Structure 1
Amino acid sequence: MSFDSIDDSGDQNLLSALTGLMGRFNIGDDGQLHYFGSQSNYHLMNSISDKSSMESTVSLQRRGLAAVERMGKNVPLSIALQEHLLELYWTWQHPWNYIIHKEMFSRAFRSRTYDRYCTPLLLSAIFALACRFSDREELRTVGEDPNTAGSAFFEQAKILFLYESQAPIIATVQAAALMSIRALSDGQEAFGWLYCGNAVRMALNLGLNIDCSQWVTSGLISEDEAEVRKVTWWGCFVLDKLFSIAVGRPGCTRKSHITCPKPSLSHEVEFEPWNPNLGSALVVSATVMPSRAVSTGHYAAECLSLASEAMDQMFGLLLYTPGLVLCHLLVLDMHQIVDYQLKKWKMLSPEQTLSYAHSI
């Protein structure tokens, strides 16, 4: 889509005023949509991108693949095994970790073309996680050791990330988020924390936390892309809060910084049949469970946001009030407030989401 075909002459005064207060989206040197705050002069750049900048991400991906080959880290994988791992991912990871828009990803994957929704890096990250759910020895670095399942894909993803992160796209954000989970599953807490922070930083860089409905109305991005942005942002938000609670550190996301709406409750996604018996025919009956990936993501974001608020308050008191000792009454007061909010959340939440709350 060409950005130079837009006639915004009638909105220039309003745009200038809003830019001074809120910042704006613009096209970065890598040809991608970025958000720049009002304090930055980057939002004053010409928003027209040339073809060479739009190709920069693809060029970096090619360099990353070449580096993987040179280092002997390439992992050949048959189409059948790729399909097997993707099925595992959609079945066991996707329903609780809603960060990839399945339809847009699958459309690109089926066409065998890499684009902003399906890249070598994202595939490597998905495979690195999905291998943890497979018992196939050919997916392990050491055949007898199931702990090495997917390790080769993770090593491949690390190299690709070094290149693609120079001009990140939405798929880069998703890959970094999945890599953080993979690192944590390997007991590499510091590594996981780092990749989680990278995912959130890149998401903020791309303005995924900002409502982009005006750009949809203007025709600059499609409704599908806007939906992918929502899914990716809120997936990052949930992951950031999970890490914050798990390691007892301040998170990178704040509610006050977010105007992005939650993902749409698409009937196709919400009620997609969930079948844990991989490889077997799906029997259509009243006992088939819907995946409810979208609503689970909604309620997970709210639950984790409430649970992390008390932690953020305590971090703020400790960091900005040197020498302060949090008295027992203050901690108890914070606990009671959050406990009340979580109980209220539980009462208002559908039954199918409560298993998520119990698992936290």
Structure 2
Amino acid sequence: MEDYAASKRRRGLGVVTPNACTECRKKRAKCDGQAPCARCASQIGVKCVYEIPIRQSKENMRMEIEQLKAQQFLNERVLAALMSSDKSEQVLDQLRSGETLEAILENLDKGKSRDLTPGSLVTTYSQNSDQQAIGNALQLARSIVSPPYPTTGLGNAYGDASQQTRQRSGLWPETGGEDSMSIQVDAPQSNDMMKWSPDVSQVSPQQPGFPLVATWHHQQSGSQSHPDAMTRAMRSKGRGTILGDGLGNPQDPDYTETWTAVTTDMALVEHLMALYFCWEYPTFATLNKEHFLEDFRTATPRYCSSLLVNAMLAAGCRFSSQVAARKDPNDSSTAGDHFFAEAERLLDQEKDHHRLTTIQALGLMSIREASRGHCSKSLYYSGQSIRLAVEMGLHLEMQGDDPTNSSVRSATFWGAFSLDQCWSLSIGRLPHYSHGMKSVARPMTSPEVEASPWIPYTDDGAPLERNCTQPSNVWGVYKTFCDLSEIVHQSLYALYTPGNHVTSKSLLRVYTQYLRWYDSIPEALRLGHNFTPAVLFVHMYYHYAILLLFRPFIKLDIVGSRISPRDVCQQAAEAISTLLNSYDQLYTLRRTPSFVPYFVLTSTITHLVTFGNGRATAERLQQGMSILKTMTPCHGFAERSRRIIAFLNQHWHINIPLKHDGNDEEEDLEAICRPSTTSSNYWCPNARFQDVVSGIGPVKVDDENPLFWPFPFQGRPLLEVNTMLEQSGFKPSMD
């Protein structure tokens, strides 16, 4: 018996057929693995068929995907070379002669040392301590629950992600059935390009109160009119990195065109442009940076204009404390006013606004006014931008158009489209772009642009010794942001279409689309892989969109679902606060994109509601007020937001002592939050009493509108009331 068992154990894999044919498997008979096998060959009319094992099939699929990715990379490189002005003829001749893509790229890459393969789009560090410091700053942000929120209980949006992340199921349930109210989503696989091993004990802060990335010295040279030689050298180096080799050299005698009547200081113009491209671009960007800079450099009016340059400089001034960036040297709140006034003058002088550069300038003017808090003007410029884009047919594919012009047209449309969705989402209305209209494809991605480095550029210029170098991933961010804007567009029609009552199924259907988008984010743009301001902004915008999707229903429960609108809103607000905390540690909140104060206002209102209902401490609420105060020098809307929070604190009788400056007496708050025909501000909670939600608690009477909306002039979804409410899939919350 022992000899028999030993012989069984000694039998190797070569004796066993790894894959039996279907007939032998049915009969549970031994198969010799031949084609055909001996058993099938001995029988008449029997086909010997071998099925590919699942494991082998998946491996083949993986190999095929990798091959397709490699082929796509080759195609994109060749297309990018065809679009360039200096390589297009060479590449075209090689294609006509029948050369392979590999051979063409080998010729293009001769003399180039930069590795532009997809795997090279990673962050690199000069020292391990730098990686640890940045890892600590991002630790909470990276642990935001993903998929974004649990479906039961409140959870902790910034706790241990390993306890909250569910396993990937690979399945997406439809939201139409009775059992589909509990949404399950795929959690992204953890495949970090950056291996974090934060150790606080080994990290020594560079300077107390200063950010981790780069070194800024505001007290020394940030506001100097005549910077010293070191600062000038740093600025020149930083401009060269941000703007490219063709710029960043104000001593070039052939380079004198500033495109603006406000100043002849080319160094100042370049400096402000670099600030815009560093901290605001590419989200809501209606222009293509490379083509704009090329025409700026050569004084070509095709993709550059004085109107566009002045609008860009006005936006860039918000990130500078130099006196030259202000209309009044002694008043920091006038930063960019002189450039903006010149842009308005040029816009009024134009007889025909149907130009690409005009649409692009309107987008920049809109985001600049949004930052200032001039919401009505920002809405106007944004609306003009998207309307002109549609009138010019930028949303349509142009047959026979050259690749460069096609790319610029596409970027112009998608920038205007995304900005319109953001404003429509923020104020609760239908967007200007019709539902169901087809749109042009996203701009073509250039691997060279994707791999170009991003550095934190400031008034002192980029530091000579940087803590890390990040790939910009500009068009990857842009495409991902456009994809998110399309979902926002669909959500707006789901919520605000007249005569279309919102149901729980339609609400959860949109929510599922958001979760799918989050799961499909490219690895390089996930938190921990890339942490440029644009990437952090996209993640904040995602949580902002989720919060505003569920906020109208914060007083309701969804029938038959474990998803609570109140809990989702609270955790979205927590996620925004966590991301802002990481942003603050990395770059400071003095340099944030234009719409970030709107994210902070919305999340802080949610913290106020949560605290008022006894479901949280005041820590996040106080943090929101502190963040808005820090942002005030850069964003005029931040100060107004602090006043709005203080007003709602009084109006809802929460009466928590808020830390704020100034004489915020009750009459002052009443005045600043009241609608006025002389004001361009849009957020005015102090309207007629009957138009304002009377409290933040649960619905008290059957005939009260259960929708929660803190601002009376914002749109409200259509929702059934009374006995019809539950038929729509909602019921008043008892908490």
CA distance in structure 2 between the partners assigned to 1:263 and 1:197 by the alignment: 22
Conservation of the 8 A alpha-carbon contact between 1:98 and 1:293: no
**1:353, distance to aligned residue in structure 2 (A):** 5.4
Conservation of the 8 A alpha-carbon contact between 1:203 and 1:209: yes
Change beyond 3 A, Cα 1:348–1:162: same
CA distance in structure 2 between the partners assigned to 1:100 and 1:289 by the alignment: 22
Change beyond 3 A, Cα 1:149–1:284: closer
Q: Which residue of 2 aligns with 1:58?
A: none
Give the SS at the match of 1:98: coil
2:473 counterpart letter in structure 1:
R
1:289 counterpart letter in structure 2:
Q
**1:283, distance to aligned residue in structure 2 (A):** 6.5
1:183 matched to 2:183: no
Change beyond 3 A, Cα 1:337–1:282: farther
1:357 matched to 2:542: no
1:95 matched to 2:271: no
Q: TM-score normalised to the size of structure 2?
A: 0.35
CA distance in structure 2 between the partners assigned to 1:268 and 1:208 by the alignment: 26
From 241, 248, 251, give the equivalent of 2:428: 248
Give the SS at the match of 1:237: helix
Q: How does 1:109-124 map to 2 (within 5 A)?
A: 109-111=296-298, 113-124=299-310
1:149 matched to 2:335: yes
1:332 counterpart letter in structure 2:
S
1:76 matched to 2:263: yes
**1:76, distance to aligned residue in structure 2 (A):** 2.1
Conservation of the 8 A alpha-carbon contact between 1:200 and 1:253: yes
**1:83, distance to aligned residue in structure 2 (A):** 0.8
Q: For structure 1, which segment, 140-149 or 201-210, has the greater mean C-alpha deviation from structure 2 after superposition?
A: 140-149
CA distance in structure 1 between the partners assigned to 2:339 and 2:503 by the alignment: 44
Q: Which residue of 1 aligns with 2:473?
A: 292
Partner deviation per Cα, 1:233-291 (whole Å, 9 max, x = no partner): 11111111111111212111246323411011111222221100442367799x41111
Give the SS at the match of 2:436: helix
Larger Rg: 2
1:308 matched to 2:489: yes
1:215 counterpart letter in structure 2:
G
**1:170, distance to aligned residue in structure 2 (A):** 0.6
CA distance in structure 2 between the partners assigned to 1:193 and 1:100 by the alignment: 19
Partner deviation per Cα, 1:107-127 (whole Å, 9 max, x = no partner): 11112x241211010001000
Give the SS at the match of 1:215: coil
CA distance in structure 2 between the partners assigned to 1:121 and 1:137 by the alignment: 22
Change beyond 3 A, Cα 1:97–1:274: farther
Give the SS at the match of 1:261: coil
Q: TM-score normalised to the size of structure 1?
A: 0.70
CA distance in structure 2 between the partners assigned to 1:177 and 1:299 by the alignment: 19
Conservation of the 8 A alpha-carbon contact between 2:421 and 2:489: yes
Change beyond 3 A, Cα 1:293–1:98: farther
Conservation of the 8 A alpha-carbon contact between 1:95 and 1:292: no
**1:147, distance to aligned residue in structure 2 (A):** 1.8
Q: Which residue of 2 aligns with 1:215?
A: 400
Change beyond 3 A, Cα 1:202–1:308: closer
CA distance in structure 2 between the partners assigned to 1:108 and 1:310 by the alignment: 38
Q: Which residue of 2 aligns with 1:334?
A: 506
CA distance in structure 2 between the partners assigned to 1:205 and 1:165 by the alignment: 16
Conservation of the 8 A alpha-carbon contact between 2:275 and 2:457: no
1:340 counterpart letter in structure 2:
T
Change beyond 3 A, Cα 1:76–1:88: same
2:522 counterpart letter in structure 1:
P
**1:99, distance to aligned residue in structure 2 (A):** 2.3
**1:94, distance to aligned residue in structure 2 (A):** 1.3
Change beyond 3 A, Cα 1:258–1:283: farther
Conservation of the 8 A alpha-carbon contact between 1:181 and 1:192: yes
Alignment RMSD = 2.2
CA distance in structure 1 between the partners assigned to 2:492 and 2:372 by the alignment: 26
Q: For structure 1, which segment, 99-108 or 190-199, has the greater mean C-alpha deviation from structure 2 after superposition?
A: 99-108
CA distance in structure 1 between the partners assigned to 2:436 and 2:465 by the alignment: 45
2:445 counterpart letter in structure 1:
L
CA distance in structure 2 between the partners assigned to 1:254 and 1:268 by the alignment: 35
CA distance in structure 2 between the partners assigned to 1:257 and 1:283 by the alignment: 49
**1:309, distance to aligned residue in structure 2 (A):** 1.8
Identity score, percent: 30
1:226 matched to 2:413: no
Conservation of the 8 A alpha-carbon contact between 2:286 and 2:412: yes
1:139 matched to 2:325: yes
From 276, 285, 293, give the equivalent of 1:106: 293
